[in-house]
Structure 1
Amino acid sequence: MRKEFSNYHPANNFIFFACAIIYGMFISDPIFLVITDICATMYLVAIKRWESIKLIIGMIVVLLAIAVINPIFNTNGETVIFLYFGRPYTLEALKYGFVTGAMFYSVILWFVCYNEIMTSDKFIYLFGKIMPSMSLVFTMVLRFVPLLKMRIERITTARSVIGKTGITKKEKYQNSSTVLLALTGSSLENGAICADSMKGRGYGLEGRSSYAIYRLTNRDLLTLLVLLICNIGVIYGIASGDVMIGYNAESELNVTLATLIGMISYLFMLFIPTFLQVKEELIWHISRSKI
C-alpha cells in the first residue's frame, strides 16, 4: 500500500516522528496520553491495515500487564485496594502503571510507524554529512531486528526442508543452537561486507559528493510550518504548568485555556499523517470509480 506521508521530504518525516516519540516519552498527562495512543493506533492501522492488528492487541496486553503488575512491586500510595501477603495493592500505583503502559504503548507504535516511513536512505540524507559514522550505525541498528527475524525464518525454513527440525526436546535444543550459530555467523559476515562496501565507496570522506532525490516543495514547506505552529501550541500548554510531565498521583486534571490549546495542537499535529493517508485513499477511490 502506498504511504502518502513517505512521499514528503525526509525533514518533515523525521521532525514529526521525533516530536511524537519525545512527547510520548515525557508527557504523562492522561488526556495527552489518550491522544497519542489513539493517533498512533489510527496511523498504524491506516498504513498496515490487518497486519497491525496482532501488534496492537499484543501491545494492549502489555499495557494492561504493566498496569496490573506495577502495584505488586511498587507499594507507594494511600488508597489501598487490597492486601496480598501483608503488602498493600494501591490505587495510585495502579494509575502509575496505566500511565507507564500507555507511554510505552504509544512510543512502540510510533517507532513501528517510523520504520515504515523513515527509510535508511532518508536518515543518511539528513545526517550523512553532519555525522556520517553515527548515521550509518543508527540506520543499521534500526534495520537489525527485522533483518534478524527474516534471516531466522530463512535458516529455519532451509533446515526444515532437509528434515532438521528436531522431534525430542534435546534435538529441538540442538536445532535452535545451530540456527543461532548460523545467524551469528551470517550477521557478522554481512556486517563486514557492508563496512567494506561503504569504505570502498568513500562514505564519510571529506569532499565526497552525493546525489539526493529529495527536494523541498511548497507542500513540504507548508507541512513544516504546520508542525512548527503545532509544536508552539504544545510547548505553550506545557509551559503553563498544568500539563503533567512527571507523574504525580495527587495531581488533578486542570483544563485551562493554555492546556486546551496544547491538547488541540497535539491532536492536530499527531493526526497529520493519518489525515494525509485517508485523503490520498479517498482521492484514489473516487478517481477509480470514475473510470
Structure 2
Amino acid sequence: MPGLLHYRFEKLFAVTVKGLTVTALFTLLFIILFILKESLVVFQQVSIGDFIFGGQWRPVSSQLRLGLWPILTASLVLSALALLLALPPAVGAALFLAHVCPDRLRRPLRSLIAIMAGIPSVVYGFIGVVLLLPVLERLFRMSSGDSLLAGGIVLGVMILPFIIATTTESMEAAAKGQLVVSRAMGVSHWYMLRRLVLPASRMGIIAGAVLGVSRAMGETMAVIMVVGNSPLMPTELLGRIKPIPALIALEIGSAPLGSIHYHALFGAGFVLLMLLLAINLLFYFLRKRLVS
C-alpha cells in the first residue's frame, strides 16, 4: 500500500510539472503573438526596414516619422557599456568567492550579493540621481549629469550580482576535479586559478554575460532616471539617450488606444524581444560550438 501511494504521488508530481511547463510555454507564446499582432498595424504603414533603420522618431507629428535606429542603437550601446563595466569585476569577485574567500565570509558575502539582486531598480535609479549625477556634473563640468555614461554605470552595478552568481557556480564546478591533482603535482594555487579554472569556466562567464545583457536591455525605471531620455544617437559617453524600454514606458501612457503611436510602441517592443531572442540563440550556438 505505501508503495502504491508513493507511485501515485510520483505520477501526480510528474503530471503537475509537465502541466506547468506547458502552461509556461503557452503563456510565452501568447505574449509573443500578442505583441506581434499589435505590431503588424504599424508595419502595414511603414516598412520594417524604415522602422528599424529610420533616423527620426516623431509618432505624433503631422509628418509621421517612425525611425527606431537611434533608440535601438542606444539600447545596444548602453547594454554593451554596462557589460564592459561589470564583467571584469564580476569575474574577479566570482573567483574570489569560489576559491580565495575564507569560509566564514563566503556565506555572508553571497547573501549580500543575493540582496543586491533583489533591490528594486527604482532604488538604484534614485541612488544614481542623488549620488552619481552630481559627481559627473562636477567631474565633467556638465549642466546635467544625465548621460549614457551614467546609465552604463547604474546598469553595470545592477547586473553585477547576476553575473557573479552564475560565474561563481561555474568556477566551483570547474575546480572540483583539479584541486587535488594540482596540489599533488605542486602547482601553485594562483597558477591553477589562472591557467585551469578560468579557461574551464568560460561557458559560465559567457552565460553570466548573456544574462547580464538580457537584464540590462530590459531595464526601465533606473535607466529613465539617469540617461536624459532624448532620442539621439549615442555618439558620446556624456550625451543623452533614450533606449527602447524607456521609450515605451514614457510614451505608452499618452498614446491613444489603437493609434499609430500605440502600435509603433508595440513594434518597438517586438524589435527588442527579437533582439533578446537573437542574443540568446547566439549564446546557444556558441555554447554548442565550444562544448563540442
Task: Give me the TM-score of the superposition, normalised by structure 2.
Answer: 0.25
TM-score between the two structures when normalised by the length of structure 1: 0.25
